[in-house]
Amino acid sequence: MCKAMEEFGNRREARGRRETMLATAKRMLESGMLALKDIAKFSGLSLAQVKKLQASMA
């Protein structure tokens, strides 16, 4: 059971990190001050993910 709880915690933590990365990239996109490749680099997302996020915001 401890292993299952540990795996659940790891998944939850990973989900939280991803949500933070997406929120950071979204704020960068909204600012309009950075190139997409820079947003990808600073947020930790791939360029494809940043482009997808940008498209979803349009």
What pTM was computed for the model?
0.77
- Number of domains into which the chain is organized: 1
Parent domain of 12: 2-57
Length of the chain measured in residues: 58
Using CA atoms, how far apart are residues 45 and 27, in angstroms rounded to an integer?
13
Average pLDDT of 8-20?
A: 82
Question: Is the CA virtual torsion 44, 30, 22, 52 positive or negative?
Answer: negative
For a pLDDT cut of 70, what percent of the chain falls above it?
97
Give the pLDDT confidence score for residue 36 in this predicted structure. 97
